[in-house]
Amino acid sequence: MSATLVRGLKCRLCGKHYPKEPINFCTEDFGPLEVDYDYEAIARRVRRSDLQRRPFTMWRYRELLPLDGEPTVGQFVGGTPLLPAPRLAKALGVRRLWIKNDAVNFPTLSFKDRVVAVALSKAREFGFDTVGCASTGNLANSVAANAAAAGMTAYILVPAEIEQAKIIGTTVYGARLVRVQGTYDQVNRLCTQIAFKYGWGLVNINLRPFYAEGSKSMGYEVAEQLGWRLPQHVVVPMAGGSLIGKIHKAFQELQQLGWVSPSPYRVHGAQASGCAPISTAVKNGWDSHQPVKTPQTIARSLAIGDPADGYFAIRVIRETGGWAEDASDSEIAESMALLAETEGIFAETAGGVTLAVARKLIEQGRISSDDEIVLCITGNGLKTQEALNGVLTEAPVIPPRLEEFDRLLASRLATSAPESIRPLAPATA
């Protein structure tokens, strides 16, 4: 299909060209490699109007993704809703707010299904039948599920201390999960050695250049769902710092292809205060980040102390005129609850980080109340329920009798009950 649309790989630091192979760094300077497309050939091959006939999945944009043939893994990934968020907008004091909701991505409820669909389809093209990853949880879930459906063997390494739901949501698919006593960065280093020694296709190690491209589909979808235009602000959670750069790359490509009119946009990055190497660098005006040795945050999915794409994330933020902020554990949990209460969306801790940071940027005047804003919600709250321990009102337990319910409604307990029944129990001033 698109064999001639990808020229090969290219070093992001020195620009040296490499063939299309399962490699991820430049032998000259250890810079990360990136897929190099022939955009003129792409423009000749596909027009924007051609997309209308295709299903609303990430593969609608297949000419801009690095496969040689048809996708063979994750064919139904992407096509998540872009929702207007009027009640949340009101709470934040802004007028035009959207949520790109990858908390409902198929099949494992996070944006990682996008990167895995590309990486495992590419792994098949390269002839790997054993795949895997280093993960903070969501990538583990997605590699496990998609590998199972594709009949591939998966070895998955995670830090020992991740959420229970993310462990079960990996082993249930029959993946070989290994919990490593250490930080994500230590897991990542181990996986680099494993990929080298055993010759497996590890999606975010030796397949990383292809893997990372999958994130662009989130950006394409946002632009198309806005009616083929770009928002003024996007707020993106950052772990390894890849997604944020790929959303920017997607917007650049769409302008280059003439599929959207050029318009200024700012890309903002969000991290947890307990692991904020990138936002700290942005706030201090540094060109590169300083690694965080021992991340400590409830946002475990974002807890990467030494982000592989930190340098590039900082550059994208700076070049687009964006900013970065970080949120404490209590701000994260409160924001998870705010998003759920106002828009009916239960996001994971990373979503709490994104919303809490958006709120700060609005308060700081970096995003003004009339601007159009897209929040990237990347994971599902059912996977990180522990984060809400002690934050939500506990549900009262009553005997099955009407007078017990009446008493409850009249009692002070009812003042903390959901809004719908609150009017019946007027607060005494």
Instruction: Point out which residues bind Zn ion (CB under 5 A).
Output: 11, 13-14, 16, 26, 28-29, 31
CA 276 to chain centre: 16
Residue 114 contacts ligand PLP per CB under 6 A: no
Q: Which does 241 bind (CB under 5 to 8 A by kind): Zn ion, ligand PLP, none?
A: ligand PLP
* Smallest separation, CB 324 to ligand PLP (Å): 12
* Smallest separation, CB 421 to ligand PLP (Å): 33
**Which residues, other chains included, contact 306 with Cβ-Cβ below 8 Å and sequence gap of 6+?**
185, 277, 289, 291, 292
Residue 273 contacts ligand PLP per CB under 6 A: no
Residue 271 contacts ligand PLP per CB under 6 A: no
* Smallest separation, CB 379 to ligand PLP (Å): 3
Our CA dihedral for 160, 381, 339, 113, rounded to 10 degrees, sits at 90
| One of 80, 379, 387, 388 touching ligand PLP (CB under 6 A) | 379
Q: Which does 31 bind (CB under 5 to 8 A by kind): Zn ion, ligand PLP, none?
A: Zn ion
How many alpha carbons lie under 13 Å from residue 282 in its C-beta half-sphere?
A: 27
Distance CA 353, CA 77 (A): 24
Nearest to ligand PLP of 350, 358 (CB atom): 350
Query: Cα dihedral sign for 273, 279, 284, 290?
Result: positive
Residue 269 contacts ligand PLP per CB under 6 A: no
* Smallest separation, CB 38 to Zn ion (Å): 21
Segment lying near ligand PLP (by CB under 6 A), choices 170-178, 187-195, 240-248, 338-346: 240-248
Question: How many C-beta neighbours within 10 Å does residue 387 have?
Answer: 21
CB-CB contact of 200 with 323 (8 Å):
no
Residue 119 contacts ligand PLP per CB under 6 A: no
Residue 240 contacts ligand PLP per CB under 6 A: yes
CA nearest to 158, candidates 187, 121, 119: 187
Distance CA 123, CA 151 (A): 12
Distance CA 136, CA 378 (A): 14
Q: Which does 11 bind (CB under 5 to 8 A by kind): Zn ion, ligand PLP, none?
A: Zn ion
Residue 71 contacts ligand PLP per CB under 6 A: no
Nearest to ligand PLP of 42, 208 (CB atom): 208
| One of 237, 277, 295, 381 touching ligand PLP (CB under 6 A) | 237
CB-CB contact of 352 with 359 (8 Å):
no
Question: How many C-beta neighbours within 10 Å does residue 118 have?
Answer: 30
Nearest to Zn ion of 9, 222 (CB atom): 9
* Smallest separation, CB 237 to ligand PLP (Å): 4
Distance CA 79, CA 426 (A): 44
| One of 378, 381, 387, 388 touching ligand PLP (CB under 6 A) | 378
DSSP-based helix, strand, coil % in the chain, nearest 5? 45, 15, 40
Q: Which does 354 bind (CB under 5 to 8 A by kind): Zn ion, ligand PLP, none?
A: none
| One of 117, 238, 303, 333 touching ligand PLP (CB under 6 A) | 238
Amino acid at 94: V
Phi, psi angle pair for 7, to nearest 5°? -75, -35
2: exposed, middle or buried (Cβ count in 10 Å: 0-12, 13-18, 19+): buried
Segment lying near ligand PLP (by CB under 6 A), choices 20-28, 87-95, 181-189, 236-244: 236-244
| One of 223, 239, 272, 275 touching ligand PLP (CB under 6 A) | 239
Q: Which does 363 bind (CB under 5 to 8 A by kind): Zn ion, ligand PLP, none?
A: none
Distance CA 371, CA 121 (A): 38
* Smallest separation, CB 241 to ligand PLP (Å): 5
Q: How many residues bind ligand PLP (CB under 6 A)?
A: 16
Residue 297 contacts ligand PLP per CB under 6 A: no
Residue 110 contacts ligand PLP per CB under 6 A: yes
Q: What are the CA-CA distances from residue 28 to residues 32, 35, 288 (Å)?
A: 11, 17, 20
Residue 66 contacts ligand PLP per CB under 6 A: no
Residues in touch with ligand PLP (CB under 6 A) = 110, 112, 138, 237-243, 301-302, 348, 350, 378-379
